[in-house]
């Protein structure tokens, strides 16, 4: 297990550098078109998300932002276009496969598991990282599959008995979740059923659950919707911290332009399913098309 | 005053994740279990054992099974009776075909067989939800009962369609099944078996598999985003649930009634078990037991109370009144606490922690 505190780079404590160094493109979408029957949701969209950057997707209501996120994490299957993730062209996939590849997501209207406690919600986020038993790799054709099935069955038995490897694994993952709880400052609500929490905290728990997946790409759908200024500041700080401390690439949709311009490295603007502009926040801000889309054009 | 966890500090996550993290709870449950195991067989009258405690334990197990599927995984099912019948007939066939096999192994195999049937009828859950799924599980209910009635192979060609459980021993030579076994032995056997299975259920719901069920129940889209495979989660819930229900059906045939026909597991049985978990509490292991106790005890209490009070009521009036009061009480409980008796129990404990102060 990774110890979070050891991953903090020394310079992270300092101020944010205006010119940060980004890596290769983590995810590239090319010529994506998506339609539902006669409704064209996305038309010929291309952009990329570089490693370790914070990429904002903005646009007026109904511009196709959420559809774009749904395409990225496998909910929608575009009719045209390709998605390249970590250098490989991605086939059509289900959301749980995207999760296995390191894509985590939060939702516009909080999608927590309402009947479970905060801690259980976060632990559920660790599900893919939990292995009570691992089958040994022999490389013999067929045998590996049999061993995997056997390990799965044994794993099930240890869960039934809450014994040995299962108890150890539960404790180990709990320790990891507690670090996230500390990081997001939600210690006090650990055991509270999330249905009872106020909205702002629910958003934070949802972020915690996404972080528990140790994602490489974190998709945030309106993380600050419906929050007051103080909560927005907290959330912005958490997003920046996640990005800097864990090196997580973030793609976010947000309507609060102040926040978007402050925290994002590059912005892509959509309107009516088409890409209007793409670039650094200051470039986008002065773009004629973007201003027209937001303010309307005088005829 | 006496129920307060002040001073009980947990120094490890393992201690914090225990089933009963509060010491008073742990002691309480041990006392209850010890009393049930060591005292009740000696002091309870035969009537109590045969007509109340044994059906209570069997219904608890069935409710536990349905609670895993409906309460924890959120898949509504009306096929409980059918799956109980599966357990009963599978175990009958197995026990008569292999007379020398330990009865526990017979029950295990019957449960596994029922789990397989459950998975088969759970397949529609991958496509449909809620009431529509409930209707699909009705198919299981009617099909299975029809099958056991139709083909006399299941009853070893008994002309009446009734199966009579053969006597089988478990601890040495003490019979625990069939009508000839002593009620005390049957009770102790059931208590141990049901407690063990309840412990397993509790362990499952606090492990990975249980969390994946609850995630599917609460928000299936978010569950899939996290990496849970809906097919695996739903079908495993169907399998585990059917296993429990199948074992309870086998126990019904082998220990409670001794001889049984398929009609004993009709649709009414499914509703009865469903009411148990609704009243007891969906998504609570404890709720399965409370709900079973409520449904088993209430009719008996309603029958005896007028007698105790010496009210001059005719037998028919009592029978009608029983139905009315029974229905009214169910509605009352659901209005007062929609989350069932388990939630009431929880609230009671929270109040007790603060007592004698209001907050």
Q: Do B226 and A115 touch (CB under 8 A)?
A: no
Per-residue pLDDT of chain A (299 residues; tens, 9 = 90+): 444 444 444 444 344 444 566 788 999 999 999 999 888 999 999 999 999 999 999 998 888 999 999 999 899 999 999 999 998 888 888 899 999 999 999 998 889 999 899 999 999 999 988 887 877 777 778 888 888 888 888 989 999 998 888 889 999 999 999 999 999 999 999 999 999 999 989 999 999 999 999 999 999 999 998 888 999 999 999 999 999 988 899 999 998 888 999 999 999 999 988 999 999 998 888 888 888 888 777 66
Interface test with B, best of A101, A106, A124, A173 (most B CBs within 10 A): A124
A113 interfaces chain B, CB cutoff of 8 Å: yes
Summary mean pLDDT of chain B: 90
Please, are residues A115 and B217 in contact by the beta-carbon 8 Å criterion? yes
- Whether the Cβ atoms of residue A244 and residue A14 lie closer than 8 Å to each other: no
- The chain A residue lying nearest B222, using CA atoms, is A111
**CB proximity list for A70: less than 8 A, separation 6 or greater:** A76
Q: Which two tokens stand for residue A31?
A: 């010529």
Which of B13, B214, B228 is opposite residue A116, by nearest beta carbon? Answer: B214
Of B12, B200, B211, the CB nearest to A123: B211
Q: Is the dihedral of CA B100, B101, B102, B104 positive or negative?
A: negative
Show the beta-strand stretches assigned E in chain B: 162-164, 259-261
Rounded mean pLDDT, B129-141: 91
C-alpha to C-alpha distance for B250 and B269, rounded to whole angstroms: 14
Whether B211 is in a domain gets the answer yes
Tokens in use for B118?
């459950």
Cβ-nearest to A127 among B13, B221, B226: B226
Alpha carbons A61 and A39: distance in angstroms, whole number: 15
User: Do the beta carbons of residue B205 and residue B285 sit within 8 Å?
Assistant: yes
CA distance B308 to chain A (A): 43
The whole-angstrom separation of Cα B339 and Cα B290 is 12
Residue A143 backbone zone (phi > 0: left; psi -120 to 50: alpha; other: beta): alpha
Pairing, β A249-253 against β A266-271: unpaired
Q: Would B59 be classed as within a structural domain?
A: yes
pLDDT of residue B56: 96
CB atoms within 10 A of CB A229: 10
Please give the pLDDT value at position A21: 64
SS3 of chain A: helix, strand, coil, percent, to 5 = 45, 20, 35
Can you tell me the distance from the alpha carbon of A282 to that of A116, in angstroms, rounded to the nearest whole number? 43
A218, A104 Cβ separation under 8 angstroms? yes
Does the beta-carbon distance from B225 to A175 stay under 8 Å? no
Specify the number of domains making up chain B: 1
Residue among B203, B211, B219 minimizing CB distance to A127: B211
- B200–A166 CB contact, under 8 Å: no
- Predicted pLDDT at A193: 92
CB-based contact A186:A204 (threshold 8 Å): yes
**Residues with Cβ < 8 Å from A57, sequence gap 6 or more?**
A65, A68, A69, A251, A252, A253, A267, A268, A270
pLDDT the model gives residue B34: 94
pLDDT of B330 strictly over 90: no
CA dist B69 and B49 (Å) reads: 29
Residue A19: per-residue pLDDT: 53
Q: Is residue B205 part of a domain?
A: yes
Residue in A96, A115, A128 closest to B217 by CB: A115
Tell if the CB–CB gap between B17 and A174 is shorter than 8 Å: yes
CB pair distance less than 8 Å for B222 and A128 = no
- In B13-117, which ranges are E strands? none
Residues of B in contact with A124 (CB under 8 A): 211-212, 214-215, 223, 226, 228
CA distance B348 to A5: 42
Q: Domain range spanning residue B229?
A: 47-266
CB < 8 Å to A105, chain B: 225
Pair B107, B61: CB distance under 8 Å: no
Q: Are B161 and B262 in contact (CB under 8 A)?
A: yes
Looking at per-residue pLDDT, the higher value among B294 and B321 belongs to B294
Question: What residues have CB less than 8 Å from B212, skipping those under 6 apart?
Answer: A124, A127, B223, B228, B232, B233, B236
Residue B297 in any domain: the answer is no
Helices (H), A50-106: 65-72, 95-100
Question: Which residue reads 């979740």 in tokens?
Answer: A177
What pLDDT is attached to residue A10?
42
Would you tell me how many other CB atoms lie within 10 Å of the CB of residue A60? 15
Partner-chain residue, chosen from B208, B212, B218, that has the shortest CB–CB distance to A114: B218
Q: Please name the helix (run of DSSP H) or strand (run of DSSP E) that holds residue B239, with its range, or none.
A: helix B230-251
Pairing of strands A266-271, A54-58: parallel
Q: Which residues pair with A54 in a beta bridge?
A: A250
Domain extents in chain A: 1-102+216-299, 112-213
**φ/ψ (deg, to 5) at B14:** -60, -40
Q: How far is CA A85 from CA A48, A125, B38, in A?
A: 10, 22, 63
CA distance B148 to B137: 17
**Residue written as token pair 């794993």:** A155
d(CA B80, CA A150): 30
The alpha carbon of residue A174 and the mean position of all alpha carbons in its chain are separated, in whole angstroms, by 21
pLDDT given for residue A13 in this prediction: 39
Question: Is position B24 within any domain?
Answer: no
Separation of alpha carbons B86 and B253, rounded Å: 11
Angle between helices B267-280 and B315-336 (to 10 degrees): 50
Compute the distance between CA of residue A248 and CA of residue A7 in angstroms, rounded to an integer: 12
Record: contact A128-B226, CB cut-off 8 A: yes
Rg (CA), chain A: 21
Rounded-to-integer distance, Cα B284 and Cα B276, Å: 12
Specify whether the CB–CB gap between B87 and B115 falls below 8 A: no
pLDDT score for B252: 95
User: Which residues on chain B are in Cβ contact (under 8 Å) with A161?
Assistant: 200, 203
The structure's pTM equals: 0.90
Q: What is the interface size between A and B, counted as CB pairs within 8 Å? A: 102
When the candidates are 3.40.50.300, 1.20.1560.10, 3.30.160.250, 3.30.1780.10, the CATH number that belongs to A1-102+216-299 is 3.40.50.300
Partners of A250 in the β-ladder? A54, A218
User: SS3 for B341?
Assistant: helix
Please confirm whether the linkage preceding B33 is cis (ω < 30° from 0).
no
**Residue in the block written with tokens 């536990």:** B64
ipTM surpassing 0.95, yes or no?
A: no
As given in the structure block, the two tokens for residue A198 are: 């106020």
For chain A positions 115-134, those within 8 Å of chain B (CB to CB) are 115-116, 120, 123-125, 127-128, 130, 132
pLDDT of A7: 45
Number of separate helices (H) and strands (E) present in chain B:
16, 2
Per-position DSSP letters for A98-113, written without gaps between them: HHHTTEEEE-SS----
Cα–Cα distance list, A39 to A32, A60, A62, A65, A273 (Å): 15, 17, 12, 15, 10
Encode pLDDT of B247-295 as tens digits.
Answer: 999 999 999 988 888 999 999 999 999 999 998 999 999 999 999 999 8
């Amino acid at each position: 297990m990774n110890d979070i505190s050891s991953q903090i780079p020394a310079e992270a404590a300092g101020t944010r550098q205006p010119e940060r160094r980004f890596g290769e493109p983590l995810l590239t979408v090319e010529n994506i078109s998506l339609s539902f029957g006669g409704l064209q949701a996305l038309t010929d969209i291309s952009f990329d998300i570089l490693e370790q950057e914070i990429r904002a997707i903005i646009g007026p209501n109904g511009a196709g932002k959420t559809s774009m996120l749904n395409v990225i994490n496998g909910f929608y299957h575009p009719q045209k276009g390709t998605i390249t993730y970590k250098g490989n062209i991605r086939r059509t996939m289900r959301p749980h496969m995207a999760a296995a590849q390191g894509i985590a997501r939060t939702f516009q209207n909080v999608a927590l598991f309402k009947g479970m406690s905060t801690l259980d919600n976060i632990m559920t986020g660790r599900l893919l990282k939990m292995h009570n038993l691992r089958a040994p790799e022999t490389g013999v054709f067929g045998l590996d599959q049999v061993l995997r099935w056997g390990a799965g069955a044994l794993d099930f038995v240890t869960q039934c008995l809450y014994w040995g490897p299962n108890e150890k694994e539960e404790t180990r993952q709990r320790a990891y979740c507690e670090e996230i709880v500390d990081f997001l400052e939600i210690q006090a609500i650990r055991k509270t059923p999330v249905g009872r929490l106020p909205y702002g905290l629910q958003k934070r728990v949802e972020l915690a659950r996404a972080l528990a997946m140790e994602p490489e790409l974190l998709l945030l759908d309106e993380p600050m919707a419906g929050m007051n200024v103080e909560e927005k500041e907290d959330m912005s700080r958490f997003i920046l911290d996640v990005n800097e401390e864990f090196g997580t690439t973030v793609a976010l949709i947000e309507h609060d332009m102040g926040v978007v311009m402050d925290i994002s490295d590059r912005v892509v603007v959509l309107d009516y399913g088409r890409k209007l502009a793409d670039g650094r926040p200051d470039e986008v801000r002065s773009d004629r098309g973007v201003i027209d889309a937001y303010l309307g054009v005088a005829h | 005053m006496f129920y307060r966890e002040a001073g009980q500090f947990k120094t490890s996550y393992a201690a914090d994740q225990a089933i009963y993290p509060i010491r008073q709870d742990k002691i309480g449950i041990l006392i209850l279990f010890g009393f049930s195991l060591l005292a009740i067989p000696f002091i309870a009258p035969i009537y109590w054992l045969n007509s109340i405690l044994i059906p209570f334990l069997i219904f608890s197990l069935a409710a536990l099974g349905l609670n895993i599927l409906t309460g924890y995984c959120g898949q509504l099912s009306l096929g409980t009776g059918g799956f109980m019948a599966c357990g009963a007939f599978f175990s009958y066939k197995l026990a008569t075909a292999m007379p020398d096999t330990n009865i526990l192994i017979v029950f295990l195999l019957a449960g596994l067989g029922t789990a397989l049937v459950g998975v088969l009828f759970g397949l529609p859950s991958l496509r449909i939800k809620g009431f529509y799924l409930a209707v699909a599980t009705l198919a299981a209910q009617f099909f299975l009962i029809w099958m056991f009635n139709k083909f006399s192979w299941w009853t070893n060609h008994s002309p009446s369609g009734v199966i009579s459980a053969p006597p089988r021993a478990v601890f040495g030579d003490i019979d625990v099944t069939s009508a000839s076994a002593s009620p005390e032995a049957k009770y102790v056997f059931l208590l141990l078996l049901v407690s063990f299975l309840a412990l397993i259920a509790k362990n499952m719901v606090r492990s990975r598999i249980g969390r994946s069920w609850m995630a599917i129940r609460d928000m299936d889209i978010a569950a899939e985003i996290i990496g849970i495979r809906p097919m695996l989660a739903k079908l495993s819930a169907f399998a585990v649930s059917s296993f429990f229900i199948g074992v309870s059906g086998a126990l019904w045939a082998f220990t409670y009634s001794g001889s049984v026909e398929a009609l004993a597991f009709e649709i009414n049985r499914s509703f009865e078990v469903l009411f148990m978990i609704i009243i007891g509490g969906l998504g609570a292991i404890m709720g399965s037991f409370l709900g079973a106790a409520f449904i088993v005890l209430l009719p008996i209490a309603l029958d005896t109370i007028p007698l105790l009070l010496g009210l001059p009521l005719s037998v028919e009036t009592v029978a009608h009144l029983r139905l009315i009061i029974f229905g009214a009480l169910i509605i009352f409980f659901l209005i007062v606490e929609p989350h069932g008796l388990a939630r009431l129990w929880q609230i009671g404990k929270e109040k007790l922690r603060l007592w004698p102060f209001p907050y």
